[in-house]
């Protein structure tokens, strides 16, 4: 069965450093998926393409068809790679607004790789102090290694031999290793779904 990894970039420019980072993370993850595993397809989404629909959703309470399809795909994904630019020391408003539309229960246990890009290395703590709390609230399985990229990470002669490339490789390896366990976990969670109270009472058998 094919599994889908949703790669979500909240970059605003064309091109954007967030999208560049998202593409590198997806490529590195694809390389580290074990041979013989179920096929994995990576689907990349630019949230800027849905900015108007996201804003309208908050006003009307309804998602436009394209936005609803995106929400559904995210909620059914086997894993997520999420990348945000840093604004005022935190994730972008577009990034946060999109995930405010996601049903918190729908992402329970899904492996998520967190990444961000910003104009200075001093903003790297955005991953630990803004993104991790958000995705902990969503009950996702957050990969230990987050990836932050600043301008100096891009302006190098050999981008494959840098601290950024090492962080990308490590984080991608963690996500690749988590994918198989996630499918098993979600099947088990479905089987262990809570029964209605009345049904629980009906299943109780008195002891002799």
Instruction: Say whether pLDDT at 36 is over 90.
Output: no
Kindly give, in sequence order, each residue whose CB lies less than 8 Å from that of residue 9, ignoring residues fewer than 6 positions away.
16, 18, 19, 21, 22, 44, 45, 46, 47, 83
Instruction: Say whether pLDDT at 146 is over 80.
Output: yes
**Domains in the chain, please, with CATH?**
3-202 (3.40.50.360)
Rounded average pLDDT over 111-122: 93
Cis peptide bond N-terminal to 29, omega within 30: no
Instruction: Say whether pLDDT at 190 is over 60.
Output: no
Rounded average pLDDT over 67-96: 96
pLDDT recorded at residue 1 = 81
Span 57-67, pLDDT tens digits? 999 999 999 99
Check: CB of residue 10 under 8 Å from CB of residue 85: yes
Question: Whole-prediction pTM value?
Answer: 0.85
């Amino acid at each position: 069965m094919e599994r889908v990894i949703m790669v979500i970039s909240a970059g605003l420019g064309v091109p954007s450093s967030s999208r560049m980072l998202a593409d590198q993370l997806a490529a590195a993850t694809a390389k580290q998926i074990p041979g013989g595993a179920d096929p994995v397809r990576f689907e990349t989404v630019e949230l800027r393409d849905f900015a108007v629909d996201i804003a309208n959703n908050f006003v009307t309470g309804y998602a436009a068809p394209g936005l609803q399809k995106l929400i559904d795909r995210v909620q059914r994904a086997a894993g997520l790679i999420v990348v945000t630019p840093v604004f005022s020391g935190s994730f972008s408003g577009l990034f946060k607004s999109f995930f405010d539309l996601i049903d918190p229960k729908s992402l329970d246990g899904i492996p998520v790789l967190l990444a961000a890009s910003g104009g200075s290395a001093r903003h790297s703590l955005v991953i630990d102090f803004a993104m991790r709390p958000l995705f902990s609230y969503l009950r996702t399985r957050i990969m230990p290694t987050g990836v932050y990229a600043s301008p100096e990470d891009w302006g190098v002669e050999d981008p494959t031999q840098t601290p950024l490339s090492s962080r990308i490789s490590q984080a991608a390896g963690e996500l690749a290793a988590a994918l198989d366990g996630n499918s098993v976990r979600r099947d088990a969670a479905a089987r262990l779904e809570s029964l209605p109270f009345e049904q629980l009472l009906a299943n109780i058998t008195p002891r002799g």
